[in-house]
Homo-oligomer: A and B are copies of this chain.
Amino acid sequence: MVAATPDPSVAEMIERHQDTLDRALAAIESRDYWSPYPEFPKAYGESGPADGKAAFDALLGKVFAIEGQPTNGDLVAGEASPYGIELGVSYPHAEADDLVAAMEQARPAWAQATPAARAAVCLEILARINARSHEFAQAVMHTTGQAYGMAFQAGGPHAQDRGLEAVAYAYAEQVRLPRQATWTKPQGKREPLSMVKEFTVVPRGLALLIGCNTFPTWNGYPGLFASLATGNPVLVKPHPRAVLPLALTVRIAREVLAEAGFDPNLVCLAAEHEGGAIAQVLAVRPEVKLIDYTGSTSFGDWLEEHARQAQVYTEKAGVNTVVIDSTDNYKGMLSNLAFALSLYSGQMCTTPQNLLIPRGGIRTDEGTKSYDEVVADLAAAIDGLLGDDARAAAILGAVVNPGVLQRTVAAAAGEYGELALTPRVVESAEFPGATIRTPALVKVDADKPDDRTAFLGECFGPVSFAVAVDSSEAAVELLRRTVREQGAMTAGAYTVDEGVEAALVEAALDSGVSLSLNLTGGVYVNQTAAFSDLHGTGANPAANAAYCDGAFVAGRFRTVQVRRHS
């Protein structure tokens, strides 16, 4: 439940959140660690987890009403918990025409609000979402399959961080021009020419957010808050299997907007059955001027091709690579990689897929290790990490959907190549119906055409490839080529050789992928921290945008000038 809040004026919201906004603006410049949203579950009170669970349970088996939003009376439902529990939440369906009409009506007043007012409303929305992080954790867990700890952090505070980061960038971009300026041009001995000029931010129009199955909030909040903070209404079209986290978000946003005196239809939910086509219909509506999308390459390409009336920000598929050249911390490298490959069953767009290892072996602090030894040791590290079922479940989470499960089956059957590590079924004591699998590690050779076919396409889920390559130089070139041709959200490398490191950095800059070097501790290649790390680059086929930079927000509004003599 939302804590009862006295109907706050926008001015009150601005005052309440000014410090947070100021600190966020400083953080995106310094890039040091910062967050206003604690990532430790205990920070949310003793009863936080239980309260969140109770709030979540109260949603199950019911219609998720969204008061005041258009509906055609139909209900849609299609979520299935990867943990096997019955959800039974259904959502009101609405016709595209009705949604668009309601949002167009809501649009002008929000467009006329100041950037400061919009930022404050967004921060109030985020604060209320933050207070309910345990409830969101349950919703994220049971739609994405993320383990509770990850669903709490990545689906809660870390997603909120990304939302706040987008608000900060949006605010900064909107106030680069003064609201009003005087212009005085000397005219020699004559009176100077003198003008007063007013600069007004003009939002682009209706924004469409198309959510994904695995990270509905983390991947959804940057676009949602970037568009909203720049004055555009946002229509949220969740993935049919991950509606609840975004439905909660929409409901909270509507509550705050209404309290601030705005039309709650500035944020609407477009829920639909799996296989529905409302995204295609909405994406080409002339009113839709902004689209944020995370998902498959095929639909991302379709959007870029067909939604020509809109600015389209996409995050699509990619193939992430780690180059293993050498290390001075072999054990640290293995445990870091084991965790990176296991976390959320490899179902992150940032999880490494291909580990490139010279077939002649690598130098380590424990002596030279052959390709086979590295692969066996990594397999053992993963085995060790996931040996205990309870611990394994807490790291792996559950398999998000049947498509991913099918790939684990194919991998286990040896369809991708020789297995260095065979996936196994993990039983959950808490959730007997959970679908949990340990990762597969497949041995392939960069010189074998069949192997290349297997590892050079995206194999989303708990399947990675230990790719034997001729040399570290060959690994660097394969990294470069993979990023250029397949796209990548992340790249990693281990090396103690300055020459190899320089070549890796050059290849990363050249192909346009961010690089994590020699991670051996508590930072993983698949994790990026808001306010500091960029998520994606927009410079390779995996995404045309990054969270978050000036380019992500600058196109979401225009500036109109009015000038007159002073």
Contact = CB atoms under 8 A, between A and B. Distances in A.
A555 B563 contact: no
Contacts of A554: 549-551, 554-555
Interface stretch (A129-137, A192-200, A347-355, A462-470): A192-200
Interface string A531-566: 011100111000000100111001100111111110
Interface stretch (A94-102, A179-187, A244-252): A179-187
Contacts of A516: 562-564
Interface string A493-533: 00000000000010011101111111111110000010011
A183 B520 contact: no
A193 B533 CA distance: 14
Nearest to A195: B523
B537 A560 contact: yes
B515 A562 contact: yes
Contact of A562 (B176, B202, B505): B505
A173 interface: yes
A105 interface: no
A559 B546 contact: yes
A512 B560 contact: yes
A431 interface: no
A177 interface: yes
Interface stretch (A16-24, A28-36, A210-218, A390-398): A28-36
Identical subunits present: 2
Contacts of A546: 558-559
A178 interface: yes
Contacts of A184: 32-33
A202 B539 contact: yes
Contacts of A383: none
A304 interface: yes
Contacts of A185: 33, 529
A108 B511 CA distance: 12
A62 interface: no
B523 A176 contact: no
B193 A515 contact: no
Nearest to A540: B558
Contacts of A200: 509
Contacts of A565: 518-521, 523
A335 to B, nearest CB: 14
Interface in A146-183: 173, 176-178, 181-183
B560 A183 contact: no
A308 interface: yes
B529 A202 contact: no
Which 5 A-B pairs give the minimum distances between C-beta atoms? A31-B181, A539-B558, A551-B554, A517-B564, A33-B185
